[in-house]
Each structure stands twice: as structure tokens, then as C-alpha cells.
């Protein structure tokens, strides 16, 4: 399908947008990327996602699809003749969806808590929860990969996309917080997986470098502060 038929509304720094980019790349789908300013959202975004008014939004023809996990599943179902993203077995598919929900609802928000922690004790408590999650995910990877390179086995799958999309921000948190999160002494299988994932042709160049993300975060926080001060 031609790129003009598929548009992705997003921002390059967004891990949730990156997920959709991964899925499109894995399926070799051409698309037009429309960069959004989250402080000055386009009319197209507001029209396409009137409920949440958030990115990403995939526009397929004239039909908008919202929310990153929904979009990834949509891509996998519509372009079913290309490599599968979701597991084919119902139990494995349900399990992948369970851990994806855990990541979005429980684990990823911990990094906001880490950034806003007011003292060393609070920071240590958040880091403990982050490491607990990674230990669980290490076990999930070992079981689901069946000795292969990815959560999806021989190829990148649903959980690879969900967790992999956040690797840039994990490394950014390491820089900002002066901590080691991807620690090969604690989660060796996941550390190897992360290197393998980031080196994949469908992934390379999508996630911004950690130094760029640090600058993005600083700029975002400065704009938030300026907006609050002007009120």
C-alpha cells in the first residue's frame, strides 16, 4: 500500500509512537510520518483522536486508529501475510497481552516516579520496584523465547515491541539518575536481548539516542514550567 494511504501522527521521542513505527517497519509498510507538537496539537490529531487527544494515531485510508497497543494489533491483523507480531497460540497471545498491560500500567510509570523522587530513600524504593519488574521480565523472556533471540522466538514479536520501545528512555534514566538499570549481572538475558533488539534493521534509527532524549526531556520540562508560570 502506498505511503499516502497510511499516515502516522506522532513524535519521534515517544516510545508509544516508536512501537507503531517498529510494527510498520517489520511489515515493510510504507507510511507518512507527521510530527506533532504536543504543546500545539494539530487539528488533524484533535479530529482523529477526540477522546484522548494523544499520539500515536494511525490513519489508514480515512480511518483513524488510536492507542499504541491497539494500533500494533491492528497492523498485525490487517497485514496478516507478513511476519506475525502476536503469538499464534491463544494462551501465548493472552500471556503477551498480560505482560504488555503490566508494562504500560505498572512498570513504565515507575520511571516518572524515579525522576520525581524527592530523596534518596524514595529513589531507592522506586529502583527496587523497577528491578523487581525486570527480574520478572527476565523469567518471561527465558520462557517465551524458547532459547531463541526474542520474546517472539526467532523474530521480533509483541512483547519485544512493547518493552523495546522504552529502551531509549531506560538509558536516558540511567544518565539522569546516575544509576545502572540494564545490569548484566542481574538480568543477563534481557541485556543481551536489548542489544539484539536495537541492532535489528526494523528498529535501528527509530529510537532517538539517549543524549537526544535527555535534551528532549529538559526542553519539555522547561515548557511545562513556563506554561505553569504564565497562568
- Among residues 13, 29, 15, the alpha carbon closest in space to that of 68 is found at 15
CATH 1.20.1050.10 for domain 90-210, yes or no, is yes
Element (H, E) at 60: strand 57-60
Of 230 and 189, which is predicted with more confidence? 189
Q: Where are the domains of the chain?
A: 3-78, 90-210
Cell numbers for 118, please give them.
524527592
Query: Can you tell me the distance from the alpha carbon of 176 to that of 170, in angstroms, rounded to the nearest whole number?
Result: 10
Helices (H), 103-151: 109-116, 120-145
CB 10 within 8 A of CB 33: yes
What is the pairing mode between strands 6-10 and 32-35? parallel
pTM of this structure = 0.95
Distant-in-sequence, close-in-space partners of 29: CB < 8 Å, separation ≥ 6: 1, 6, 75, 79, 82
Specify the pLDDT at position 197.
Answer: 98
CB 84 within 8 A of CB 138: no
CB 157 within 8 A of CB 145: no
Residue 4's pLDDT band (cuts 50, 70, 90): low
Residue 227's pLDDT band (cuts 50, 70, 90): confident
Per-residue pLDDT tens digits for 179-222: 999 999 999 999 999 999 999 999 999 999 999 999 999 999 99
Per-residue pLDDT tens digits for 84-111: 999 999 999 999 999 999 999 999 999 9
Residue 54 is given by DSSP the state -
Query: Can you tell me the distance from the alpha carbon of 228 to that of 26, in angstroms, rounded to the nearest whole number?
Result: 41
pLDDT, mean over the chain: 95
Query: Can you tell me the distance from the alpha carbon of 67 to that of 140, in angstroms, rounded to the nearest whole number?
Result: 24
Distant-in-sequence, close-in-space partners of 23: CB < 8 Å, separation ≥ 6: 71, 72, 75, 76, 85, 161
CATH topology of domain 3-78: Glutaredoxin (3.40.30)
Amino acid at each position: 500500500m502506498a505511503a499516502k494511504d497510511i499516515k502516522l501522527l506522532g513524535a519521534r521521542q515517544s516510545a508509544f509512537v516508536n512501537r507503531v513505527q517498529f510494527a510498520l517497519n517489520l511489515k515493510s509498510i510504507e507510511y507518512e510520518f507527521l510530527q506533532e507538537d504536543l504543546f500545539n496539537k494539530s487539528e488533524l490529531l484533535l479530529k482523529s483522536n477526540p477522546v484522548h487527544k494523544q499520539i500515536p494515531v494511525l490513519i489508514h485510508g480515512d480511518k483513524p486508529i488510536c492507542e499504541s497497543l491497539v494500533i500494533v494489533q491492528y497492523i498485525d491483523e490487517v497485514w496478516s501475510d507478513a511476519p506475525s507480531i502476536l503469538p499464534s497460540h491463544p494462551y501465548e497471545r493472552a500471556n503477551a497481552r498480560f505482560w504488555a498491560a503490566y508494562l504500560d500500567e505498572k512498570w513504565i510509570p515507575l520511571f516518572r516516579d524515579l525522576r520525581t523522587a524527592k530523596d534518596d530513600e524514595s529513589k531507592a524504593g522506586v529502583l527496587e520496584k523497577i528491578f523487581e519488574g525486570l527480574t520478572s521480565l527476565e523469567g518471561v523472556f527465558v520462557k517465551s523465547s524458547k532459547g531463541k533471540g526474542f520474546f517472539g522466538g526467532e523474530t521480533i514479536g509483541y512483547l519485544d515491541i512493547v518493552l523495546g520501545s522504552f529502551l531509549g528512555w531506560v538509558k536516558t534514566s540511567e544518565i539522569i539518575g546516575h544509576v545502572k538499570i540494564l545490569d548484566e549481572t542481574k538480568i543477563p538475558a534481557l541485556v543481551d536481548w536489548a542489544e539484539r533488539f536495537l541492532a535489528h534493521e526494523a528498529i535501528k534509527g527509530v529510537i532517538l539516542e539517549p543524549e537526544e532524549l535527555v535534551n528532549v526531556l529538559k526542553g519539555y520540562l522547561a515548557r511545562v514550567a513556563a506554561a505553569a508560570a504564565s497562568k
